[in-house]
Amino acid sequence: MRSPGLQSRLVVLLLLCAALGVGVHAAIVLWPLPQLLRWAGPWPAPAAWSAAALGLSLLVMLPLCMLMAAIALAPLRRLLHALEGAVMSFRDGDFSTSIAAPGRLIAQELAELMQAHSELGLALREQRQQLAQRELLLDTMVQSTPVALLLVDGQGRIAFANIAARQLFAKGRSLNDATLEGLLASAPAALSQALRSGQDQLFTVIEEEGEESFHLQQRPLLLLGSTHRLILLRRMTRELSRQEVASWKRVIRVISHELNNSLAPISSMAHSGAELLRRGDTERLKGVLASIGARAADLHGFLSGYASFAKLPAPRLAPVEWAPLLARLGEHGEFRHDGELPGQPGNFDATQIEQALINLLKNAHEAGGPRAAEVNLSVVAEGAHWRISVADRGPGMSAAVLAQALLPFYSTKRSGTGLGLALAREIAEAHGGRIVLANRDGGGLVVSLLLPR
Protein backbone atom coordinates (compact mmCIF):
# COMPACT_ATOMS: atom_id res chain seq x y z
CA MET A 1 0.00 0.00 0.00
CA ARG A 2 1.37 3.39 -1.02
CA SER A 3 1.88 5.73 1.94
CA PRO A 4 0.34 9.23 1.78
CA GLY A 5 2.47 12.08 0.57
CA LEU A 6 4.04 14.77 2.71
CA GLN A 7 1.51 17.37 1.58
CA SER A 8 -1.41 15.10 2.55
CA ARG A 9 0.08 14.57 5.99
CA LEU A 10 0.48 18.29 6.55
CA VAL A 11 -3.15 18.90 5.48
CA VAL A 12 -4.37 16.25 7.93
CA LEU A 13 -2.22 17.77 10.68
CA LEU A 14 -3.68 21.24 10.05
CA LEU A 15 -7.22 19.87 10.04
CA LEU A 16 -6.61 18.08 13.35
CA CYS A 17 -5.19 21.25 14.85
CA ALA A 18 -8.19 23.24 13.62
CA ALA A 19 -10.67 20.66 14.98
CA LEU A 20 -8.83 20.55 18.28
CA GLY A 21 -8.87 24.35 18.45
CA VAL A 22 -12.62 24.47 17.80
CA GLY A 23 -13.20 21.81 20.48
CA VAL A 24 -11.07 23.58 23.07
CA HIS A 25 -12.69 26.95 22.36
CA ALA A 26 -16.21 25.40 22.60
CA ALA A 27 -15.27 23.75 25.92
CA ILE A 28 -14.14 27.09 27.28
CA VAL A 29 -16.99 29.22 25.92
CA LEU A 30 -20.02 26.87 25.88
CA TRP A 31 -19.51 23.80 27.95
CA PRO A 32 -18.38 22.61 30.52
CA LEU A 33 -16.12 25.45 31.72
CA PRO A 34 -18.91 28.14 31.93
CA GLN A 35 -21.16 25.89 34.08
CA LEU A 36 -18.26 25.17 36.43
CA LEU A 37 -17.48 28.85 36.77
CA ARG A 38 -21.15 29.73 37.47
CA TRP A 39 -21.24 27.23 40.31
CA ALA A 40 -17.98 28.54 41.72
CA GLY A 41 -18.91 32.25 41.84
CA PRO A 42 -20.36 35.25 40.08
CA TRP A 43 -20.29 35.16 36.25
CA PRO A 44 -18.06 37.84 34.63
CA ALA A 45 -19.27 40.31 32.02
CA PRO A 46 -19.73 38.87 28.48
CA ALA A 47 -17.12 41.15 26.88
CA ALA A 48 -14.52 40.36 29.51
CA TRP A 49 -15.30 36.68 29.34
CA SER A 50 -14.97 36.58 25.51
CA ALA A 51 -11.47 38.11 25.67
CA ALA A 52 -10.44 35.78 28.51
CA ALA A 53 -11.84 32.75 26.66
CA LEU A 54 -9.84 33.58 23.51
CA GLY A 55 -6.63 34.00 25.43
CA LEU A 56 -7.25 30.80 27.38
CA SER A 57 -7.95 28.90 24.12
CA LEU A 58 -4.65 30.12 22.60
CA LEU A 59 -2.80 29.22 25.80
CA VAL A 60 -4.14 25.65 25.69
CA MET A 61 -3.83 25.19 21.91
CA LEU A 62 -0.20 26.38 21.54
CA PRO A 63 1.50 23.53 23.46
CA LEU A 64 -0.94 20.99 21.99
CA CYS A 65 -0.13 22.09 18.42
CA MET A 66 3.61 22.10 19.16
CA LEU A 67 3.32 18.56 20.56
CA MET A 68 1.41 17.33 17.52
CA ALA A 69 3.88 19.00 15.14
CA ALA A 70 6.81 17.45 16.98
CA ILE A 71 5.23 13.99 16.77
CA ALA A 72 4.36 14.40 13.09
CA LEU A 73 7.78 15.81 12.06
CA ALA A 74 9.91 13.45 14.17
CA PRO A 75 10.50 10.97 11.26
CA LEU A 76 11.45 13.86 8.97
CA ARG A 77 13.96 15.20 11.50
CA ARG A 78 15.52 11.76 11.92
CA LEU A 79 15.75 11.37 8.14
CA LEU A 80 17.36 14.79 7.68
CA HIS A 81 19.86 14.00 10.45
CA ALA A 82 20.68 10.69 8.74
CA LEU A 83 21.09 12.48 5.37
CA GLU A 84 23.44 14.99 6.97
CA GLY A 85 25.60 12.15 8.31
CA ALA A 86 25.55 10.40 4.93
CA VAL A 87 26.63 13.58 3.11
CA MET A 88 29.51 13.99 5.58
CA SER A 89 30.53 10.38 4.90
CA PHE A 90 30.42 11.02 1.14
CA ARG A 91 32.64 14.05 1.62
CA ASP A 92 35.16 11.87 3.49
CA GLY A 93 35.10 9.28 0.71
CA ASP A 94 32.94 6.69 2.48
CA PHE A 95 30.18 5.67 0.09
CA SER A 96 28.99 2.64 2.05
CA THR A 97 26.60 4.57 4.32
CA SER A 98 22.92 3.66 3.88
CA ILE A 99 19.78 5.21 5.43
CA ALA A 100 17.15 3.10 7.19
CA ALA A 101 13.45 4.06 7.24
CA PRO A 102 12.84 6.45 10.18
CA GLY A 103 9.48 4.86 10.95
CA ARG A 104 6.93 2.36 9.75
CA LEU A 105 5.18 4.88 7.59
CA ILE A 106 7.08 7.61 5.77
CA ALA A 107 5.93 10.04 3.14
CA GLN A 108 6.26 9.00 -0.49
CA GLU A 109 8.61 11.92 -1.20
CA LEU A 110 10.90 10.85 1.63
CA ALA A 111 10.85 7.24 0.41
CA GLU A 112 11.88 8.43 -3.06
CA LEU A 113 14.64 10.56 -1.50
CA MET A 114 15.97 7.54 0.41
CA GLN A 115 15.90 5.43 -2.75
CA ALA A 116 17.76 8.13 -4.71
CA HIS A 117 20.35 8.34 -1.93
CA SER A 118 20.89 4.57 -2.00
CA GLU A 119 21.29 4.60 -5.79
CA LEU A 120 23.74 7.51 -5.54
CA GLY A 121 25.84 5.66 -2.97
CA LEU A 122 25.87 2.53 -5.14
CA ALA A 123 26.87 4.53 -8.26
CA LEU A 124 29.66 6.31 -6.37
CA ARG A 125 30.97 3.02 -5.01
CA GLU A 126 31.04 1.49 -8.48
CA GLN A 127 32.73 4.57 -9.96
CA ARG A 128 35.36 4.60 -7.23
CA GLN A 129 36.02 0.90 -7.76
CA GLN A 130 36.39 1.42 -11.51
CA LEU A 131 38.62 4.44 -10.93
CA ALA A 132 40.78 2.46 -8.52
CA GLN A 133 41.13 -0.34 -11.06
CA ARG A 134 42.05 2.13 -13.80
CA GLU A 135 44.58 3.84 -11.54
CA LEU A 136 46.08 0.46 -10.68
CA LEU A 137 46.27 -0.48 -14.36
CA LEU A 138 47.79 2.89 -15.28
CA ASP A 139 50.32 2.72 -12.45
CA THR A 140 51.29 -0.81 -13.46
CA MET A 141 51.79 0.28 -17.07
CA VAL A 142 53.75 3.40 -16.11
CA GLN A 143 55.95 1.51 -13.67
CA SER A 144 56.56 -1.34 -16.15
CA THR A 145 57.47 0.80 -19.15
CA PRO A 146 61.18 1.04 -20.02
CA VAL A 147 60.71 4.76 -20.71
CA ALA A 148 61.98 6.86 -17.80
CA LEU A 149 59.16 9.19 -16.71
CA LEU A 150 59.59 12.20 -14.42
CA LEU A 151 56.88 14.66 -13.34
CA VAL A 152 58.31 17.91 -11.97
CA ASP A 153 56.13 20.51 -10.23
CA GLY A 154 56.39 24.28 -10.55
CA GLN A 155 58.97 24.50 -7.72
CA GLY A 156 61.27 21.97 -9.38
CA ARG A 157 60.44 19.10 -7.01
CA ILE A 158 59.96 15.56 -8.29
CA ALA A 159 56.23 14.83 -8.01
CA PHE A 160 56.42 11.37 -9.60
CA ALA A 161 59.10 9.04 -10.94
CA ASN A 162 58.60 5.54 -12.30
CA ILE A 163 60.97 2.60 -11.81
CA ALA A 164 62.95 3.36 -14.98
CA ALA A 165 63.51 6.97 -13.87
CA ARG A 166 64.60 5.90 -10.38
CA GLN A 167 67.00 3.39 -11.94
CA LEU A 168 68.43 6.01 -14.31
CA PHE A 169 68.88 8.84 -11.80
CA ALA A 170 69.21 7.13 -8.39
CA LYS A 171 70.08 3.45 -9.09
CA GLY A 172 66.63 2.34 -7.97
CA ARG A 173 66.34 4.48 -4.82
CA SER A 174 63.27 6.57 -4.08
CA LEU A 175 63.15 10.11 -5.43
CA ASN A 176 60.70 11.42 -2.82
CA ASP A 177 61.54 15.01 -1.75
CA ALA A 178 64.22 15.17 -4.47
CA THR A 179 64.57 18.16 -6.80
CA LEU A 180 65.38 18.18 -10.49
CA GLU A 181 68.43 20.38 -9.92
CA GLY A 182 69.68 17.92 -7.33
CA LEU A 183 69.36 15.07 -9.81
CA LEU A 184 71.09 17.01 -12.59
CA ALA A 185 73.98 17.93 -10.31
CA SER A 186 75.06 14.28 -10.17
CA ALA A 187 73.86 13.29 -13.66
CA PRO A 188 76.18 12.93 -16.70
CA ALA A 189 76.94 16.23 -18.42
CA ALA A 190 75.12 15.32 -21.64
CA LEU A 191 71.98 14.33 -19.76
CA SER A 192 72.09 17.45 -17.59
CA GLN A 193 72.52 19.75 -20.60
CA ALA A 194 69.68 18.09 -22.49
CA LEU A 195 67.22 18.43 -19.60
CA ARG A 196 68.16 22.04 -18.96
CA SER A 197 67.66 22.92 -22.63
CA GLY A 198 63.90 22.32 -22.40
CA GLN A 199 63.89 20.96 -25.98
CA ASP A 200 63.17 17.55 -27.49
CA GLN A 201 66.41 16.02 -28.69
CA LEU A 202 68.52 12.93 -29.29
CA PHE A 203 71.78 12.71 -27.35
CA THR A 204 74.37 10.19 -26.18
CA VAL A 205 75.58 9.48 -22.64
CA ILE A 206 78.77 7.64 -21.73
CA GLU A 207 77.87 4.97 -19.15
CA GLU A 208 79.85 2.19 -17.50
CA GLU A 209 78.52 -0.34 -20.01
CA GLY A 210 79.37 1.94 -22.95
CA GLU A 211 77.55 4.59 -24.96
CA GLU A 212 73.80 4.93 -24.56
CA SER A 213 71.64 7.07 -26.84
CA PHE A 214 68.52 8.70 -25.40
CA HIS A 215 65.49 10.33 -27.00
CA LEU A 216 64.25 13.17 -24.78
CA GLN A 217 60.72 14.59 -24.82
CA GLN A 218 59.56 17.41 -22.51
CA ARG A 219 56.01 18.72 -22.25
CA PRO A 220 54.26 21.26 -19.97
CA LEU A 221 51.32 19.75 -18.09
CA LEU A 222 48.55 21.47 -16.12
CA LEU A 223 47.72 19.31 -13.10
CA LEU A 224 45.36 20.36 -10.28
CA GLY A 225 45.60 23.96 -11.42
CA SER A 226 49.41 23.98 -11.23
CA THR A 227 51.89 23.84 -14.11
CA HIS A 228 54.06 20.73 -14.15
CA ARG A 229 56.76 19.46 -16.50
CA LEU A 230 56.57 15.95 -17.94
CA ILE A 231 59.94 14.45 -18.93
CA LEU A 232 60.22 11.24 -20.99
CA LEU A 233 63.61 9.60 -21.58
CA ARG A 234 63.71 6.62 -23.92
CA ARG A 235 66.79 4.47 -24.39
CA MET A 236 67.47 4.28 -28.12
CA THR A 237 70.70 2.27 -28.43
CA ARG A 238 68.99 -1.07 -28.94
CA GLU A 239 66.39 0.48 -31.23
CA LEU A 240 69.09 2.27 -33.22
CA SER A 241 71.03 -0.98 -33.55
CA ARG A 242 67.93 -2.79 -34.79
CA GLN A 243 67.16 0.01 -37.22
CA GLU A 244 70.76 0.06 -38.43
CA VAL A 245 70.60 -3.65 -39.24
CA ALA A 246 67.37 -3.04 -41.13
CA SER A 247 68.99 -0.08 -42.91
CA TRP A 248 72.00 -2.15 -43.94
CA LYS A 249 69.69 -4.81 -45.33
CA ARG A 250 67.83 -2.15 -47.24
CA VAL A 251 71.01 -0.61 -48.66
CA ILE A 252 72.25 -4.05 -49.72
CA ARG A 253 69.05 -4.47 -51.69
CA VAL A 254 69.53 -0.99 -53.22
CA ILE A 255 73.14 -1.71 -54.17
CA SER A 256 72.19 -5.11 -55.60
CA HIS A 257 69.47 -3.46 -57.66
CA GLU A 258 71.83 -0.78 -58.97
CA LEU A 259 74.54 -3.35 -59.73
CA ASN A 260 72.10 -5.48 -61.68
CA ASN A 261 70.80 -2.43 -63.54
CA SER A 262 74.35 -1.48 -64.52
CA LEU A 263 75.93 -4.90 -65.06
CA ALA A 264 73.14 -6.17 -67.32
CA PRO A 265 73.66 -3.37 -69.92
CA ILE A 266 77.46 -3.67 -69.58
CA SER A 267 77.23 -7.40 -70.18
CA SER A 268 74.97 -6.84 -73.18
CA MET A 269 77.20 -4.13 -74.63
CA ALA A 270 80.31 -6.28 -74.07
CA HIS A 271 78.66 -9.07 -76.04
CA SER A 272 77.77 -6.59 -78.78
CA GLY A 273 81.34 -5.28 -78.77
CA ALA A 274 82.75 -8.78 -79.17
CA GLU A 275 80.42 -9.35 -82.12
CA LEU A 276 81.46 -6.04 -83.73
CA LEU A 277 85.13 -6.93 -83.20
CA ARG A 278 84.58 -10.27 -84.91
CA ARG A 279 83.05 -8.46 -87.87
CA GLY A 280 85.82 -5.87 -87.90
CA ASP A 281 83.42 -2.94 -87.36
CA THR A 282 85.80 -0.80 -85.31
CA GLU A 283 83.88 2.45 -85.79
CA ARG A 284 80.81 1.22 -83.95
CA LEU A 285 83.01 -0.63 -81.46
CA LYS A 286 84.37 2.71 -80.18
CA GLY A 287 80.85 3.84 -79.30
CA VAL A 288 80.09 0.59 -77.50
CA LEU A 289 83.27 0.85 -75.46
CA ALA A 290 82.53 4.48 -74.62
CA SER A 291 79.04 3.47 -73.39
CA ILE A 292 80.57 0.72 -71.27
CA GLY A 293 83.05 3.22 -69.79
CA ALA A 294 80.31 5.78 -69.02
CA ARG A 295 78.13 3.16 -67.42
CA ALA A 296 81.05 1.89 -65.33
CA ALA A 297 81.89 5.48 -64.26
CA ASP A 298 78.30 6.03 -63.11
CA LEU A 299 78.42 2.79 -61.16
CA HIS A 300 81.75 3.78 -59.61
CA GLY A 301 80.32 7.14 -58.53
CA PHE A 302 77.29 5.46 -57.03
CA LEU A 303 79.39 3.00 -55.02
CA SER A 304 81.99 5.55 -53.92
CA GLY A 305 79.34 7.47 -51.93
CA TYR A 306 78.56 4.39 -49.88
CA ALA A 307 82.23 3.39 -49.63
CA SER A 308 83.15 6.76 -48.11
CA PHE A 309 80.71 6.04 -45.30
CA ALA A 310 81.50 2.36 -44.81
CA LYS A 311 85.32 2.79 -44.90
CA LEU A 312 85.82 5.89 -42.79
CA PRO A 313 89.55 6.00 -41.92
CA ALA A 314 90.79 6.61 -38.39
CA PRO A 315 91.05 10.34 -37.71
CA ARG A 316 94.50 11.94 -37.76
CA LEU A 317 94.47 14.41 -34.91
CA ALA A 318 96.33 17.68 -35.33
CA PRO A 319 95.96 21.29 -34.12
CA VAL A 320 93.46 23.18 -36.28
CA GLU A 321 92.95 26.93 -36.34
CA TRP A 322 89.31 27.95 -36.42
CA ALA A 323 89.43 30.93 -38.80
CA PRO A 324 90.89 29.04 -41.79
CA LEU A 325 88.48 26.15 -41.20
CA LEU A 326 85.45 28.47 -41.30
CA ALA A 327 86.85 30.24 -44.35
CA ARG A 328 87.00 26.94 -46.22
CA LEU A 329 83.47 26.10 -45.11
CA GLY A 330 82.25 29.44 -46.48
CA GLU A 331 83.25 28.27 -49.97
CA HIS A 332 80.68 25.47 -49.78
CA GLY A 333 77.71 27.40 -48.38
CA GLU A 334 76.81 30.71 -46.80
CA PHE A 335 76.34 30.95 -43.06
CA ARG A 336 76.49 33.54 -40.30
CA HIS A 337 79.02 33.03 -37.53
CA ASP A 338 77.68 33.68 -34.02
CA GLY A 339 80.01 34.94 -31.31
CA GLU A 340 83.78 35.10 -31.32
CA LEU A 341 86.13 32.33 -32.38
CA PRO A 342 88.07 30.66 -29.54
CA GLY A 343 91.73 31.62 -29.24
CA GLN A 344 92.73 28.02 -28.49
CA PRO A 345 92.99 25.80 -31.59
CA GLY A 346 91.05 22.57 -31.90
CA ASN A 347 92.64 19.13 -32.05
CA PHE A 348 90.97 16.89 -34.62
CA ASP A 349 91.13 15.61 -38.18
CA ALA A 350 90.44 18.79 -40.16
CA THR A 351 89.46 16.95 -43.35
CA GLN A 352 86.87 14.74 -41.65
CA ILE A 353 85.39 17.51 -39.49
CA GLU A 354 85.21 19.79 -42.52
CA GLN A 355 83.35 17.09 -44.45
CA ALA A 356 80.92 16.58 -41.55
CA LEU A 357 80.26 20.34 -41.30
CA ILE A 358 79.76 20.62 -45.06
CA ASN A 359 77.06 17.97 -44.78
CA LEU A 360 75.42 19.80 -41.89
CA LEU A 361 75.48 23.14 -43.74
CA LYS A 362 74.02 21.49 -46.83
CA ASN A 363 71.19 19.99 -44.76
CA ALA A 364 70.57 23.36 -43.09
CA HIS A 365 70.20 25.14 -46.44
CA GLU A 366 67.93 22.38 -47.74
CA ALA A 367 65.70 22.57 -44.66
CA GLY A 368 63.77 25.46 -46.22
CA GLY A 369 61.31 27.49 -44.13
CA PRO A 370 60.46 31.21 -44.35
CA ARG A 371 64.11 32.12 -43.70
CA ALA A 372 65.91 29.40 -45.62
CA ALA A 373 69.08 31.46 -45.97
CA GLU A 374 69.41 32.05 -42.22
CA VAL A 375 71.99 29.44 -41.23
CA ASN A 376 74.10 30.07 -38.13
CA LEU A 377 77.34 28.40 -37.11
CA SER A 378 78.94 28.77 -33.70
CA VAL A 379 82.04 27.38 -31.99
CA VAL A 380 82.21 27.50 -28.18
CA ALA A 381 84.26 25.80 -25.49
CA GLU A 382 81.96 23.81 -23.23
CA GLY A 383 83.69 21.99 -20.39
CA ALA A 384 85.94 19.30 -21.82
CA HIS A 385 84.41 19.62 -25.31
CA TRP A 386 84.20 21.92 -28.29
CA ARG A 387 80.59 22.48 -29.34
CA ILE A 388 80.29 23.24 -33.06
CA SER A 389 76.62 24.00 -33.82
CA VAL A 390 74.83 24.51 -37.13
CA ALA A 391 71.34 25.99 -36.80
CA ASP A 392 68.67 26.59 -39.44
CA ARG A 393 65.18 28.09 -39.53
CA GLY A 394 63.38 25.20 -41.20
CA PRO A 395 60.43 23.25 -39.81
CA GLY A 396 62.55 21.29 -37.34
CA MET A 397 61.91 17.60 -36.72
CA SER A 398 58.97 15.72 -35.29
CA ALA A 399 59.53 13.28 -32.42
CA ALA A 400 59.38 10.30 -34.81
CA VAL A 401 61.91 11.79 -37.26
CA LEU A 402 64.17 12.98 -34.44
CA ALA A 403 64.36 9.43 -33.08
CA GLN A 404 65.60 8.05 -36.44
CA ALA A 405 67.52 10.96 -37.92
CA LEU A 406 70.96 9.50 -37.17
CA LEU A 407 70.24 6.15 -38.81
CA PRO A 408 72.27 5.46 -41.95
CA PHE A 409 70.26 5.83 -45.18
CA TYR A 410 67.26 7.32 -43.36
CA SER A 411 66.01 10.44 -45.13
CA THR A 412 62.76 12.39 -45.33
CA LYS A 413 63.80 13.90 -48.67
CA ARG A 414 62.80 12.07 -51.83
CA SER A 415 66.26 12.44 -53.39
CA GLY A 416 68.22 12.20 -50.12
CA THR A 417 70.74 9.42 -49.45
CA GLY A 418 70.41 9.51 -45.67
CA LEU A 419 74.21 9.63 -45.27
CA GLY A 420 74.79 13.25 -44.19
CA LEU A 421 73.87 13.05 -40.52
CA ALA A 422 74.97 9.42 -40.24
CA LEU A 423 78.44 10.31 -41.59
CA ALA A 424 78.66 13.29 -39.20
CA ARG A 425 77.76 10.94 -36.34
CA GLU A 426 80.45 8.43 -37.39
CA ILE A 427 83.08 11.18 -37.63
CA ALA A 428 82.15 12.65 -34.23
CA GLU A 429 82.20 9.25 -32.52
CA ALA A 430 85.51 8.35 -34.20
CA HIS A 431 86.97 11.46 -32.51
CA GLY A 432 85.57 10.36 -29.13
CA GLY A 433 82.74 12.87 -29.31
CA ARG A 434 79.07 12.75 -30.16
CA ILE A 435 76.35 14.51 -32.12
CA VAL A 436 73.28 16.17 -30.59
CA LEU A 437 70.05 17.12 -32.39
CA ALA A 438 67.51 19.52 -30.92
CA ASN A 439 64.61 21.61 -32.20
CA ARG A 440 65.38 25.32 -32.10
CA ASP A 441 63.43 27.98 -30.22
CA GLY A 442 61.40 29.94 -32.76
CA GLY A 443 61.52 27.13 -35.32
CA GLY A 444 64.32 25.19 -36.92
CA LEU A 445 66.90 22.60 -35.95
CA VAL A 446 70.25 22.76 -34.15
CA VAL A 447 72.81 20.04 -34.89
CA SER A 448 75.88 20.11 -32.63
CA LEU A 449 79.17 18.26 -32.90
CA LEU A 450 80.76 17.75 -29.48
CA LEU A 451 84.49 17.10 -29.87
CA PRO A 452 87.04 16.55 -27.09
CA ARG A 453 89.32 19.50 -26.37
Q: Which residues contact 110 (CB under 8 A, 6 or more apart)?
A: 6, 75, 76, 79, 102
- The model's pTM is 0.44
pLDDT at position 90 over 80: no
User: Which of 229-238, 344-353, 438-447 is most confident?
Assistant: 344-353
- Supply the pLDDT for residue 252: 67
d(CA 390, CA 226): 36
For the segment 68-84, the average pLDDT, to the nearest whole number, is: 74
- Supply the pLDDT for residue 54: 62
- Supply the pLDDT for residue 9: 65
Task: Reduce the secondary structure of the chain to three states and give it as a string.
Answer: CCCCCHHHHHHHHHHHHHHHHHHHHHHHHCCCHHHHHHHHCCCCCHHHHHHHHHHHHHHHHHHHHHHHHHHHHHHHHHHHHHHHHHHHHHHCCCCCCCCCCCCCCCCHHHHHHHHHHHHHHHHHHHHHHHHHHHHHHHHHHHHHCCCEEEEECCCCEEEEECHHHHHHHHCCCCCCCCEHHHHHHHCCHHHHHHHHHCCCEEEEEEECCEEEEEEEEEEEEEECCEEEEEEEEEECHHHHHHHHHHHHHHHHHHHHHHHHHHHHHHHHHHHHHHHHHHHCCHHHHHHHHHHHHHHHHHHHHHHHHHHHHHCCCCCCCEEECHHHHHHHHHCCCCCEEECCCCCCCEEECHHHHHHHHHHHHHHHHHCCCCCCCCCEEEEEEECCEEEEEEECCCCCCCHHHHHHCCCCCCCCCCCCCCCHHHHHHHHHHHCCCEEEEEECCCCCEEEEEEEEC
- Supply the pLDDT for residue 241: 64
pLDDT digits (tens, 9 = 90+) for 98-152: 676 555 545 566 677 777 777 887 888 888 888 888 888 888 888 888 888 999 8
- Supply the pLDDT for residue 413: 59
User: Which of 22-26, 235-239, 363-367 is most confident?
Assistant: 363-367
Least confidently predicted of 88-102, 192-206, 333-347, 424-438: 88-102
Length of the chain: 453
Least confidently predicted of 138-147, 238-247, 382-391: 238-247
439 strand-pairing partners: 445
pLDDT digits (tens, 9 = 90+) for 297-329: 767 766 665 666 556 677 888 898 998 888 888
pLDDT at position 369 over 60: no
d(CA 179, CA 152): 8
pLDDT at position 417 over 60: no
For the segment 321-342, the average pLDDT, to the nearest whole number, is: 84
- Supply the pLDDT for residue 45: 46
For the segment 392-399, the average pLDDT, to the nearest whole number, is: 80
* % of the chain with per-residue pLDDT over 90: 1
* % of the chain with per-residue pLDDT over 70: 71
Q: Which residue has the higher pLDDT, 21 or 226?
A: 226
**CATH number of the 318-452 domain:** 3.30.565.10
- Supply the pLDDT for residue 37: 60
Q: Could you state, in order of their start, the residue ranges of all structural domains in the chain?
A: 6-116, 145-235, 242-310, 318-452
CATH, domain 145-235, list 3.30.499.10, 3.90.550.10, 3.40.50.2300, 3.30.450.20: 3.30.450.20
